[in-house]
Amino acid sequence: METLVVVGGVAAGLSAASAAKRLKKKELHAVVFERSGYISYGACSEPYFVAGLVPEPDDLVEITPEEFARKREIPTHRMHEVLDADYESGQVTVLDLADGRRFNEHFDYLMLATGSVGRRLDVPGEELAGVHALRTVEDAIAVRDSARAADDVAICGGGYIGLEMAEAFVAMGKRVVILKKTDQMLLNFDPEVSRLVEDEVRAKGVDVRTGVDVLALEGRGRVEKVVTSEGDVKAESVLVAKGGVPNTTLARHLGVDLGATGAIAVDRRQKTNLDRVYAGGDCAEAYHIVSGRPAYIPLGTTANKTGRVAGQNIGGLRTEFPGIVGTAVSKIFDLQVARTGLSLKEATDIGLEARSSTIQQGSRSSHYPGGSPITVHLVTEAGTRRLLGAQMVGREGVAHRIDVLATALHAAMTAEDIYHLDLAYAPPYAPVWDPILIAANKARKA
C-alpha cells in the first residue's frame, strides 16, 4: 500500500485526499496533517461568524475529523505541523503541537496544501494583544472576542476581507476605521467601481482613511492606538487584512520550484517539478485563461478544484485543471461587488492594449417596484473587442450576473458576442435589455 501525505486540512488538502482515496481505495493510505485546531473550515464564512450570523465555531466546519475518518477512511491530525520534508528519503517531519512530540511519516505521494499566510504590517507593536489576522477558526474566535471588548476597531487594509469585516464590526455596534495605504480600496478593481464601494462603506458609518501609512501599534500590554502618518487612531482591537502570501516554506525545503508570482509552480495536473509531489489551493499558482500566464489569486473555489484535480492524478486518473479567469464576489454591506478577468490596469500591466467602459442600468424592469442601479464595467481588448474582464456593483442581481461574463471569458467572446446573448427577462429580475447587454453594446463601440 502506498501512502499519500497531505499537508493542510482545508479545501485543497481534503479535496485531494478524498479524490485520491476514492480512486485507489485499498491501495492507498491517505493521511492529513493540519496545523490549526480545525479541519475543513470555511474561511470565507468567518466574517459572518464574527458578526454573529454563524453562531458557533463548529458551524464553520464542513466535515468533522470523525466523519472524514468514517466516510472517507482518511485520518486527519489537527494541531500537527509538518516542519520539514525530505524528498530523497520520502519522509516528512511532523510536530504534534499539543504535546510537543516529533515524528517522521513516510510518503509515496505528497500533497502541498499549505495555504497562505497573512501579509504583515512589519511595524513595532504588531505582537501586542488585540492585534489580529483572520485566517483560521482560532483567529476568528480571537477577532470576535477582541472586538467585543473594544469600542474602537481599526482595520488595516481595504480588500474583500477588510471590507467584509468592517460590516461585521459595524453589526457589532463598534466604531470602525479603515486605514489604507493606497488611495484606492479593492485594488483589483478599477477606480470607477471601487469608488462606489468606498461610498457605500462610508455611508454605513465607517471612517475610511486612504493614503495613510501605519507606522506603529502602541499600548500597555494590549493595543490602544495605531500610530499613522496622519496622526494617532484610537483602537482596542486591530485587524490586519492586507491579503495573503503563499506559504511556501515547506515547498522550498523540499526543492519544489516556485513561479514568478512567488507561489508554487504546477502543471495542469497540479504536479510540481518533483514527481509525486502535487500542490493546490492558496499555496500554488493557477493558469489564468485570459492573460495566458500563471497567476496567484487565492480563492476557495480554486482551492477545491485544484485539490480535486491533484487528488485525481494521485489516484491515477489523468485529469487537468484548465485554469481560472479570476472570478470573485463579495457582500460589502448592502452591495454585491463582483469581478472576473482582468482589470484595465491588470490588462495594461501585461502589455495588452485595452479599453474600459462603464454603464449603469436598473436591476429590474422600470415598471416593477424595488429595483436599484447596477454598474457594469467592461474591459476589452482594443481592435478585437475581446472581453478581458468585467466588474459589477449593485444591491441585487450582481452575484450571478458576473458569472455570465466569466463564462464569456472562458469562451473568448467579444463585446459583440455578448451583446447578442439571449438572456432571461422578467420584470422582477431584469430590464428587457439586461445591464450586461447595455454594457456590451457600449463596449463594442468603445
Binding site for its own copies (CB under 8 A): 11, 42, 44-45, 48, 53-54, 59-60, 62, 289, 299-302, 304-305, 321-331, 336, 338, 340, 365-369, 397, 399-404, 406-408, 410-411, 413, 417, 420-430, 432-434, 436
* Smallest separation (angstroms) from its own copies to the CB of 113: 15
Q: How would you classify the pairing of strands 207-210 and 214-218?
A: unpaired
Decide if 169 contacts 162 (C-beta within 8 A).
Answer: no
Residue with smaller CB distance to its own copies, 42 or 243: 42
Residue-wise DSSP of 15-81:
HHHHHHHHHHGGGEEEEEE-SSS-SSB-GGGHHHHHTTSS-SGGGGBSS-HHHHHHHH---EETTEE
* Smallest separation (angstroms) from its own copies to the CB of 410: 6
**Distance between CA atoms of 34 and 9, rounded to whole angstroms?**
5
Q: Which of 23, 44, 97, 187 is catalytic?
A: 44
Residue with smaller CB distance to its own copies, 275 or 422: 422
* Smallest separation (angstroms) from its own copies to the CB of 366: 7
Residue with smaller CB distance to its own copies, 62 or 86: 62
Backbone φ and ψ for 42, nearest 5 degrees, come out as -95, 90
* Smallest separation (angstroms) from its own copies to the CB of 337: 9
> Does the annotation count 44 as an active-site position?
yes
**Distance between CA atoms of 69 and 75, rounded to whole angstroms?**
5
- Indicate the helix (H) or strand (E) that contains 356: strand 354-362
* Smallest separation (angstroms) from its own copies to the CB of 416: 9
- Indicate the helix (H) or strand (E) that contains 389: strand 387-394
Residue with smaller CB distance to its own copies, 327 or 361: 327
264: Cβ contacts below 8 Å, ≥ 6 apart: 112, 246, 248, 251, 256, 257, 258, 272, 279, 283, 284, 285
Residue with smaller CB distance to its own copies, 65 or 323: 323
**Distance between CA atoms of 413 and 344, rounded to whole angstroms?**
17
**Rounded (10°) CA dihedral 224, 227, 233, 237:** -40
**Rounded (10°) CA dihedral 64, 69, 72, 74:** 110
Decide if 336 contacts 399 (C-beta within 8 A).
Answer: yes
Q: Is 341 exposed, middle or buried (0-12, 13-18, 19+ CB in 10 A)?
A: buried
**Distance between CA atoms of 25 and 335, rounded to whole angstroms?**
45
DSSP at 318 = -
Q: How far is CA 1 from the centre of its chain?
A: 36
Strand partners, 77: 33
**Whose CA is closest to 6, among 93, 90, 76, 86?**
76
Locate all alpha helices (DSSP H) within 240-382, ordered by sequence. Answer: 249-254, 300-314, 344-349
Query: Hey, which residues are catalytic here?
Result: 44
